[in-house]
Chains A and B, each alone.
Chain A
Amino acid sequence: MKRTTWVTVFVMLALAILPPVFLWTGNAFYVDLATRLVILAIAAVSLNLILGFGGMVSFGHAAYIGIGAYAVGIPVYYETYGGIDALASYGGAFHILLAVGVSALFALLTGVICLRTKGVYFIMITMAFGQMIYYLFISMEEFGGDDGLVIDIRSELPLVSLDNPLQLYAIAYIALVIAMLMVRTIVNSRFGMVLQGARGNDERLVTLGYNTYLYRLTAYVISGAMCGFAGALLGNFTTFISPDMMGWSRSGELMFMVILGGSATTLGPVLGSAVFILMEEVLSSITIYWHLPFGLMLMGIVLFVRGGLMGLIKGKGDK
């Protein structure tokens, strides 16, 4: 087996084993940390599909996290306090369906426009759409505006209770594994070959007869829907949601996780989120000026390590 495969197995096993151990040894805080890490990793994995494999540098991906979180918050709010009955529900299936559905729809509507542009223009327009959603939620006073909204009751699912930290973690972990396998399957399929080919040389693929726009758009929608699911999980985890979750700086963090870990790799985004979250935690406990060393460290990795942390692991000899 290749070294990257070993590392992938090791990291995923660690993520499976450590949180229960933390809980049993009375370190519940670390379970929370791991849950946040895993949920953000799902978002990063979804972003990696378009950023890493599709070459679409989206600077508005946090919008889907927000949409997913509010897809839990708003139905719970209506169910608790009354309002639009059609949207009122505590049901997890409804929340997830809403999160994934609305995210996919938003990705489709914005993707149709964004994907007509390339390069810096694409980055700017995806950011603009992200900010649009950000300000939309700020303007919605009913759901707390920029003060945010407390989710009183978590999504109700059969068999499991999301109020139990370990069960919530298990769900998030399984979702992450499924997300990783999904992206891996997609990028290795015929569809994925076209997507990656278009990243490398769009003109070539068009000349071969591929309508690359449609392939990109499809990937864009899949990625948005997956990230919306991560948002629904995040809403259930924090039980407090606010437009702050979807600002452009959050999108930047997601981008960073992907690039830090190694874009266009299976484990990269997960590794990136892990390092990002852990460093943030460690550095901020040492100094209140933690942003400075953190920023310098991230810059160092981007500048000097080709292919992110996965590039480092892969080494030179291994293909």
Chain B
Amino acid sequence: MSALLNISNLCKSFGGVTATDNVSLAVEPGELHAIIGPNGAGKTTLISQLSGALSPDSGSIIFKGTDITNRPAHARARLGITRSFQITSLVMDMSVLDNVALAVQARQGHSFRFLRPARSIRPLRDEALEMLDRVGLKARADDPTAALSHGEHRQMEIAIALASGADLMLLDEPMAGLGPQESTAMIEILKALKGERTILLIEHDMDAVFALADRITVLVYGRIIATGAPDEIRGNNDVRHAYLGEE
């Protein structure tokens, strides 16, 4: 079995709190794999270790056959892992298009190029515009990022993840703080990406998770209690206990 991402025996603790407890997980190419779990289950900590923002205490992370456990974040990004943030992380004082163009630029190798004005490089612009089009933000390309709504920022994050050409997209609660309409729009955007990119999705919105995921992993207190297709997870007793507190 050649998984795109193979996590084995990953552990991370902060002081006395074990945020990631012996987590092993394989993400297959092309699948949309959701990670769910109650608050404080260590979902974001796990994503941070995958993106390189945190380094694990032990265990290993293999991506495309390469051990990336100790690689810095920018090196992982170059290998094809991209991350969107639970709290919107964009360059607020740049235009929407510039934000996405920076992602396209990142994919094309180093940017130690000092002469040509980046905004007049057609292929860069066109590709960024195309990504914005896919998330429905083409009309807002030239607006300052700070002027967009929260929902639109979320869509920008997806456009950036797309533009970075990553094989693996780590999406940390893309629906967080969205209204019902915006959520529906986001689900449609993500649905359109299914199969094209491998997505590891953290999400609280269960409707979204069950509508989108091919497989679901349930994390409780840093430990995996179940992994399987949505139907299996729905019928799993442990999961019910974790979520509903049934004895």
Tell me whether A197 and B74 are in contact (CB under 8 A): no
Instruction: Return chain A residues, CB-CB under 8 Å to B118.
Output: 188-190, 192-193
Interface band, chain B: 35 or more
Given A188-B117, A193-B111: A208 in contact with B89 (beta carbons within 8 A): no
The listed residue (B77, B114, B116, B121) touching A209 by CB distance below 8 A is: B77
Of residues 84 through 117 on chain B, the ones whose CB sits less than 8 Å from some CB of chain A are 85, 89-94, 98-99, 101-103, 105-107, 111-117
Given that A196-B94, A207-B73 are known contacts, is A185 also in contact with B51, CB under 8 Å in the complex? Answer: no
Partner of A208, one of B77, B92, B98, B121: B77
Given known A193-B105, A209-B106, A211-B74, contact A204–B113 (CB-CB < 8 A): no
**Does A191 reach chain B (CB closer than 8 Å)?**
yes
CA A248 – CA B138 in complex, angstroms? 48
Residue contact B112 to A208, C-beta cutoff 8 Å: no
A239 in contact (CB, < 8 A): no
Bound-complex Cα distance A217 to B90 (A): 22
Instruction: Flag if B114 contacts A207 (CB, 8 Å).
Output: no
Look across to chain A and name the residue whose beta carbon is closest to the beta carbon of B142. Answer: A319
Interface of A is mostly: helix
Q: Any chain B CB within 8 A of the CB of A215? A: yes
CB contacts between A and B, total, < 8 Å: 92
Q: A207 contacts which of B77, B112, B113 (Cβ < 8 Å)?
A: B77
Instruction: Decide if B77 touches A189 in the complex (CB within 8 Å).
Output: no
Query: Interface size for chain A: under 10, 10 to 19, 20 to 34, or 35 or more residues?
Result: 20 to 34
- Given A188-B117, A201-B89, A201-B91, decide whether A206 and B111 contact each other with a Cβ distance below 8 A: no
Task: Indicate whether B78 reaches chain A with its CB closer than 8 angstroms.
Answer: yes
State whether A197 touches B73 (Cβ < 8 A).
Answer: no
**Could you tell me the distance in whole angstroms from the C-beta of A32 to the nearest C-beta in chain B?**
35
> What's the least CB distance linking A212 to chain B, in Å?
8
B154 at interface, CB cutoff 8 A: no
Q: Does A83 contact B (CB under 8 A)?
A: no
Q: Decide if B82 touches A208 in the complex (CB within 8 Å).
A: yes
User: How far apart are the CA atoms of A189 and B105 in the complex, in Å?
Assistant: 11
Tell me, in angstroms, the Cα distance from A197 to B85 when the chains sit together: 16
B110–chain A nearest beta-carbon distance, Å? 9
Most chain B beta-carbon neighbours within 10 Å: one of A185, A191, A193, A212: A193
Task: Please report the C-alpha to C-alpha distance between residue A120 and residue B159 in the assembled complex, in whole angstroms.
Answer: 34
| Chain A neighbourhood of B89, CB < 8 A | 201, 203-204, 207
Q: Is B209 an interface residue (CB 8 A)?
A: no
Question: B160 contacts the other chain (Cβ, under 8 Å)?
Answer: yes
Contacts of B241 in A (CB 8 A): none
Q: Quick one: given A193-B111, A208-B82, A208-B103, are A200 and B94 in contact (CB under 8 Å)?
A: yes
> How many whole Å from A198's CB to the nearest CB in chain B?
9
Give Cα A85–Cα B119 distance, bound, in whole angstroms. Answer: 50
Contact A210 B106 (CB under 8 A): yes
Residues of B within 8 A of A207 (CB): 51, 53, 73-74, 77, 82-83, 89
In-complex Cβ contact of A190 among B92, B99, B111, B160 (8 A): B111
A138 within 8 A of B: no
- List residues of chain B with CB within 8 A of the CB of A194: 102, 105, 111
* A166 contacts the other chain (CB 8 A): no
Inside 8 A of B116's CB, which chain A residues have their CB? 189-190
A166-199 CB mask vs B (1 if < 8 Å, else 0) is 0000000000000000000110111111101101
5 additional contacts (CB under 8 A) given A186-B114, A191-B113, A207-B82: A189-B113, A190-B111, A194-B105, A197-B102, A199-B93
B contacts, CB < 8 Å to A: 51, 53, 73-75, 77-78, 82-83, 85, 89-94, 98-99, 101-103, 105-107, 111-119, 121, 160, 164
Q: Can you list the 9 inter-chain pairs with the closest CB atoms, starting with the nearest? A: A209-B77, A200-B91, A208-B106, A190-B111, A188-B117, A209-B78, A190-B113, A190-B118, A209-B106
